Structure 1
């Protein structure tokens, strides 16, 4: 069975991918910027910007059948005042892995792209397919669009088989960046009020991290696909108050105070169509939002007790 290389293995998505591989008994090598030995597998300290460490690892642990690239700055809220760093980690790191795959003849590279690559979707559009234009409004979103373009270029010019998943609103254990869903649950558990000056009209297509890990491995394993980028997120598209109402069924103490409109500096996006991923990858979200919220609440409650 071919071993896989998983980058960003200490993060929200990368860790879930490793856990899924471990449960299936599949061989893999995990890397992150910081080494770790937690959860029964080792994570090597390898920065994706360090080409020498990447090639040394490939020589020692490879050859890899596929690379699942989850290692990046994940979200437009990170390094907002340091766009060069966003480019350096997200774009340069991705090019290094694409080049590694080219040189080492890796079968496929799967990239974690983002719905941020779309920017705000066209007004009046009911559902967003993968053919919608990529017009990012942030450097982070632009870095993801650039990575997709580079992956496509490597595929066409150098024969490196690449697939990009446009992911959005992932939640679950190990999430550390901004997440309204997590903050709602925590507010309810602590008896506090979840407050936002804007946001009543904002839509969320939340997806549990286990679903995204499964989608990435489906993308790594599929024989072939007619396209190189796919939407991958959750099955429900709800307003922030509608999400809060579901949270309240699990955490009855939740109280909210949410102002009108969308969050400032946030892309206005319609529902993302998942039919292409279902048709070509066999992916559809399996964790309903209600179940995912209940599981996440149990995790966060234990963390508070600990």
Structure 2
């Protein structure tokens, strides 16, 4: 039996990952989450985990990474997935960066300190495409990293901490860089969630930029299958791996797809130029294909349809 710890278990990707891991009867999952409500209300996070709380191989630990007693929690853990953190690009500018430093950098260093004295076989850190900054064309894992936002800086700092603790303390580290994950349970502050919610409510969509910016969109179901595979895949220790999607599209194209799926026209409220965000993202996923058997299958239209159903159901509570 593999005992797997997932930090940020009540979050968007974390809750999906717990469900994916539990499909393997050889896994026991401990989900750590403090239910912090900076970007997602507590009632939404509780809803994410509601179906897992009665699962015989799942245990929820409600605690903060900054205060949790790692000496009590880590013994017996085989795999650590570190997904918890402070998300959001635009919000990382200004005084709130102190929260990013605390919940991303300090919390990660504290976890790594605990892992050096444990017997964990693998620590998988969830990073982001934001570490790359502005790039033209596909980016692979060896490309220059030059973040455009304090959020990106905080995640890149965490990557450097992982590297240091791997080299100096021998912690078996794997880094995964996610590219614009979307789908059911996406955070309320993220674009697709906001677009769908505003259109369902009949109010204008808040749009940053002119809509021509493009993203490599990654459906959450595809994403977590790759993330789950990272627990046992061979030749992974020390690797940094992009997790991108099946297709790229502009924000304008995405809005047009949502209009088509909802059968209504969007009203746009222009919000100015987005601070800290690149014009485009595009992941080279050849390493993920080779090492994780990664093969995203959900196209953008089907993924958006699934997210629309989720958002509609969420706000009918």
Counterpart Cα distance in 2 of 1:167 and 1:197: 21
- Other structure's SS at 1:231 match: strand
* 1:131 equivalent in structure 2: 142
* 1:75 equivalent in structure 2: 88
* 2:62 equivalent in structure 1: 45
Which whole-Å deviations, capped at 9, do the CAs of 1:256-277 have from their partners, x for residues lacking one? Answer: 4376996344223342211111
Q: How does 1:168-179 map to 2 (within 5 A)?
A: 168-179=179-190
Contact 2:215/2:281 (CA < 8 Å) preserved in 1?
A: no
* 1:290 equivalent in structure 2: 301
Contact 2:179/2:283 (CA < 8 Å) preserved in 1?
A: no
Counterpart Cα distance in 2 of 1:238 and 1:260: 20
Change (3 A) 1:227 1:153: same
How far is 1:168 from its partner?
Answer: 2.5
Change (3 A) 1:195 1:95: closer
Q: How does 1:10-159 map to 2 (within 5 A)?
A: 10-25=10-25, 26-34=27-35, 38-41=50-53, 42-50=59-67, 53-58=69-74, 62-80=75-93, 81-121=95-135, 125-159=136-170
Q: How does 1:113-262 map to 2 (within 5 A)?
A: 113-121=127-135, 125-196=136-207, 198-225=209-236, 228-257=239-268
Change (3 A) 1:84 1:304: closer
- Other structure's SS at 2:142 match: coil
Change (3 A) 1:132 1:263: same
Change (3 A) 1:260 1:195: closer
Counterpart Cα distance in 1 of 2:149 and 2:133: 8
Query: Structure 2 length normalisation: TM-score?
Result: 0.86
Contact 1:185/1:247 (CA < 8 Å) preserved in 2?
A: yes
Contact 1:232/1:277 (CA < 8 Å) preserved in 2?
A: yes
Contact 1:189/1:254 (CA < 8 Å) preserved in 2?
A: no
Counterpart Cα distance in 2 of 1:78 and 1:284: 33
Contact 1:189/1:253 (CA < 8 Å) preserved in 2?
A: no
Aligned Cα root-mean-square deviation (Å): 2.4
Gaps of 5+ in 2: 37-45, 54-58
Contact 1:202/1:263 (CA < 8 Å) preserved in 2?
A: no
How far is 1:156 from its partner?
Answer: 2.1
- Count of residue pairs brought into register by the alignment: 299
* 1:278 equivalent in structure 2: 289
Contact 1:67/1:110 (CA < 8 Å) preserved in 2?
A: yes
Identify the range of structure 1 (203-212 vs 226-235) with the bigger mean alpha-carbon deviation. 226-235
Gaps of 5+ in 1: none
Counterpart Cα distance in 2 of 1:254 and 1:157: 56
Counterpart Cα distance in 2 of 1:260 and 1:47: 34
Counterpart Cα distance in 2 of 1:302 and 1:112: 28
* 2:41 equivalent in structure 1: none
Counterpart Cα distance in 2 of 1:197 and 1:160: 40
Counterpart Cα distance in 1 of 2:99 and 2:211: 33
Change (3 A) 1:223 1:90: same
Counterpart Cα distance in 2 of 1:301 and 1:252: 14
Higher-helix-fraction structure: 1
Identify the range of structure 1 (249-258 vs 238-247) with the bigger mean alpha-carbon deviation. 249-258
Query: Structure 1 length normalisation: TM-score?
Result: 0.89
Counterpart Cα distance in 2 of 1:161 and 1:185: 40
- Other structure's SS at 1:220 match: coil
